[in-house]
Structure formats: C-alpha cells, structure tokens
Amino acid sequence: MADGSRQYILAREGWGHVALAVLAAIAAGWFAGWLWSLPLWLFALFVVQFFRDPPRRIPEAPRAVICPADGRVIAVDDVRDPYLGRNARRVSIFMNVFNVHANRIPVSGTVKHRWYYPGRFFNAAIDKASQENERNALWIHTDEGAEVVVVQVAGLIARRILCYVGEGDRVGRGQRYGFIRFGSRVDIFLPVTAEIRVALGDRVAGGKDILGFLPS
C-alpha cells in the first residue's frame, strides 16, 4: 500500500494536475500570446492552492482527538453510528475548494476495519451525503481503548477518495493518511462520553486543532 505520510508543501496527489495546468498555460502563451494564456495561468494558480499541503505541528495533549481535516464544522450531534451500530457523538467537517484537502488520523491506534462504499455525489454540506455519497471509513481502536470511526465523504465535484492505510495498520495521531479531490467532507464518530471542544460553524485546521478529548 502506498505511503501517504511523507510531507510535501505541494501534495503529491496534485503534481500531475499542476504540471498539466502549467504546461497548458505555457502552450497557450507560446501559440496564442500571453494575454490569451492569462485565464489558464489563473487556473494553474487555483490548482496549486488546492493541492497545497503545509506541514502541521501535532498537539501532544493526552487523549486529544485531532481534527482530521481543514474546513468548517457543519454538524456536532449525537447519532447512531452506522458503522459500529452504537450511539455516538458525531462531528462533521466540510472542506470547500479553497481548503487543504489532505486528511489526517485523529487518534493513535490500530485500524480494525476499513469500509469503502461507491455512491452518489450530492453536495457534501448536506446531511444525506454521509449516507448516500461515495465514502471511505476507518475504524480505529485507540491506545486508550476507545473506538473511533473517521469517514472520508466525496462531495459534489469530488471524484476520487484516496486512502493509504488499511486493516491492521498502526496509525499515529496527526498522520497524513488520505486525500479527497475537489470539495468534500469528513465525519468522525466518537464515544458518547467524549468531550467535544468545537462548535457548529467553527473553522478548523486538520492535524493542528483539537476537536475534543476521549474519556479517561
């Protein structure tokens, strides 16, 4: 399985996209003139910003749950966990096209299972996207003995979920483990006794901000 943990300023998932965008802009400038190439250069800049992947300093706080993605918190609620069949606390983070789209492991532990579901491509900000869109879920048994599920959900224009870990893998808190291309969402299901430290509407940074704390 590919290693997605190595850090780059520009996500390696975007190298090909950036190269094509830049080559198209150069070709347009060469054959049609630099003024005509300006829209393509603007598009190339957009692609670069989309695939940026700045390094993050991972908090060391005991029992901390790290935000798995950059974006805006669109749900903090008590729900039925559809993967483990238990009551859980859910936090959902929506990533628009201007957010960093690398995904990070929220807790240290062992991946017990991985689910992948092909699906539809509703706007990731709406609630039914969690159950009907393409998604990839990881069940992590934490070092504290808790069960955490983190789910990558494709969005309206997202067409590729990448995940670099699988069943049996040892994962570390803040580890970069996946990427979703072009607009998406991440859901995390925690024990009902977990302490949540974010609120609806908060802007969060993956691998940097603390989402909450697991029970002791």
Average pLDDT, rounded, for the chain: 84
- Residue 13 CB neighbours (<10 A): 19
* 1 pLDDT above the threshold of 50: no
Model pLDDT, residue 30:
83
pTM: 0.81
* 121 pLDDT above the threshold of 60: no
What would be the CATH architecture of the domain defined by 64-213? Distorted Sandwich (2.70)
- Residue 41 CB neighbours (<10 A): 17
| Mean pLDDT score, 194-205 | 95
Model pLDDT, residue 137:
95
pLDDT digits (tens, 9 = 90+) for 79-111: 999 999 999 999 999 988 888 888 999 999 999
Burial class of residue 128 (count of CB atoms within 10 Å of its CB; 0-12, 13-18, 19+): exposed
Give me the active site residues, please. 184
Model pLDDT, residue 128:
54
* 153 pLDDT above the threshold of 70: yes
How many angstroms separate the CA atoms of 56 and 208, rounded?
Answer: 6
pLDDT digits (tens, 9 = 90+) for 4-50: 445 567 677 767 777 887 898 888 888 877 888 888 888 888 878 77
How many angstroms separate the CA atoms of 200 and 190, rounded?
Answer: 16
| Mean pLDDT score, 188-193 | 97
Domain ranges of the chain: 12-50, 64-213
In which band, very low, low, confident or very high, does the pLDDT at 157 lie, cut at 50, 70 and 90? low
